[in-house]
Structure 1
């Protein structure tokens, strides 16, 4: 609903152009889908590296004997030094993403440097307490990685292909989707950003294989791994996760009806009728209370019926 509403307002009412103005008529040949599968597999490796590096960095950052307010300052200082040389790594990187879809805008060395730098500063900033997530940085990392793969494929195989645009978009979603655990969302984002159905199909192939590898290796997403480190395993079902997070003390009730062994059934029946319970607990009073048995309301009804029948 939110996506449909956003599309209506941006496209029909305000007529905002999509982020990527791309002319893509379709995949050159059916055999090229093998290359998109390859992009998906390589993107899965990068996603696995990002997840494991971030989790490890967060663990080590917690162990550093530094005040909480010092860590973000250190990360900000390092980020500023990187930005002096590579301003493309700052923020969402919209311009860098657009250039990544243009053939010849970056060479293979520039792409490699930008990818490494963006991964490094993202992990550092998140581990040292910056507020924010991984979605926007991963979009930039992924699209640069897709362009990097296209340059490698174009140089190694030297065969007709669909161009840098298709591989950039495929890489962007193939890296992002397994980390955040939202493959369907990322596929729809491709269509939202490009409004190109053929390009969405190409990206979908890479997304499927990337998510398959990451899911079989680490789990469904980075967030699943973070929850698992806290003892919550969503792979076993949300019901078990809820039970693990619920203490027995929150479930204890003290308003149940009780009765002594010597108490009459009539008196107990009155208590049951006044309460919302269908059972009462028979106890013996002393230094310690001990529960003998639970007497259910239907048992009292049977006693009534037996008494009426006998009389």
Structure 2
């Protein structure tokens, strides 16, 4: 193993440890804020108390808006921003300030009840920490990319205590490119961060969910149920994506003053918190409660699913720091329970088996919206420790993914990423330069500059070898060389992975 690889992996371990030390307290504060909300909304107060609390929440919301305005990079989930940083499209210029702002904004927004998840901020905070560690460790541009993947994986791992799923998510969704270095960098950081999370969050309530296989259903009934369930989840996933993007566009284009928009959402949050306290914030506690509550009316469950879906997409439109993973899992779990109650009503499923469909729903809805099926499968198995669910979850996720392909459900993070780009970027003729490192098994290693064929519109601007620029007209590329490739800015996302594959970085 090369010294540069050893250095990189040691830095990834440091990134994982530091990310865990930051994001685990973030998760802990959100748990405590949930307890405070329960006390707040379960107590009786004088009439004047309610406007006072709403005013405090309003001021908090305006403060979060100010943070997002001052540091736009912290808005929303943070996962698309990490992807852009890996591409070289976005720069984390002030990572420490952005890290603090994301932490405070996430705790404040989710803590007061906005229906957002902890995973997005955790992932982006991991990216900010990776940038800081990269500066400290004097990482080159290539190494910094791997540190970003390690930081993002570590953040997701600490959010759900799921290091394997976090690593797969980086490969499947963020990088969409596999290499040994990506896998090792991500896994090392995720294991360290996940271990820190496991030392604090020692109780896993998901293991209490009854997921016994419904033996009373024959193979034909199971097959029909899985197909119908997958179709329902795809419809909900497509609706979720549409509303998320629609509300985001309308919120940004609204002429209503920002303070009034924030006040409106604050009032909605407070009302929902007062009457349905479990539906605000991520909703994980409510999901676990429903997993053990047999006597829930189907009509009420339909209303709760609709409210959670609308409230989540509305909250995300504000741009406040927060993700969609956890709300998605809640919506998927509740949909699974609704479908199970329907099967119970027509007397082909026993009441004790609705947990079986809840876990399947969590995984399959994630696959429908994010379009990362392997992550969806492994995440739920790792979170719940219900490995007996591997086959049924895989089957339904596969069917859901297939239906989503037919109905052209686009991956939500790809669409959110495009919304971060300048409006006219696809028509721009601006050229940018992206550096890549030549690795031993690269297609380019040993080739002369005159025999290299790059994708259309790309050319090598210069080559850095041993910290010196090669100025010869004729040269051969060697492992360890840094080549700076010039290309049209509009082609970056389209060509990035091809160029990285050619260099075998």
1:16 corresponding residue in structure 2: 202
- Equivalences for residues 162-173 of structure 1 within 5 A: 163-173=353-363
CA distance in 2, matches of 1:35, 1:25: 16
Structure 2: 5+ residue stretches without partners: 1-186, 435-468, 475-505
Is the counterpart of residue 96 in structure 1 residue 286 in structure 2? yes
1:30 corresponding residue in structure 2: 219
C-alpha RMSD of the superposition:
3.2
- Say if 1:36 and 1:206, in contact at 8 Å, map to a contact too: yes
CA distance in 2, matches of 1:219, 1:40: 13
- Equivalences for residues 70-81 of structure 1 within 5 A: 70-81=260-271
Is the counterpart of residue 276 in structure 1 residue 452 in structure 2? no
CA distance in 2, matches of 1:243, 1:14: 46
Distance apart, 1:221 and its partner CA: 1.1
CA shift digits 1:231-271 (9 cap, x unpaired): 89xxxxxxxxx9988832659xxxxxxxxxxxxxxxxxxxx
2:348 to 142, 145, 159: 159
Is the counterpart of residue 202 in structure 1 residue 385 in structure 2? no
1:191 to 355, 366, 381: 381
1:144 corresponding residue in structure 2: 334
2:246 corresponding residue in structure 1: 56
Distance apart, 1:19 and its partner CA: 2.9
CA distance in 1, matches of 2:366, 2:375: 10
Distance apart, 1:108 and its partner CA: 0.8
Rate the CA distance shift 1:219–1:278 in 2: closer, same or farther, 3 A.
farther
Rate the CA distance shift 1:14–1:226 in 2: closer, same or farther, 3 A.
closer
Distance apart, 1:24 and its partner CA: 3.5
Distance apart, 1:164 and its partner CA: 0.2
1:248 to 431, 454, 462: 431
CA shift digits 1:40-62 (9 cap, x unpaired): 22101000011111111112222
- Higher Rg of the two aligned structures: 1
2:316 corresponding residue in structure 1: 126
- Say if 2:210 and 2:353, in contact at 8 Å, map to a contact too: no
Q: What TM-score do you get using the length of structure 2 for normalisation?
A: 0.44
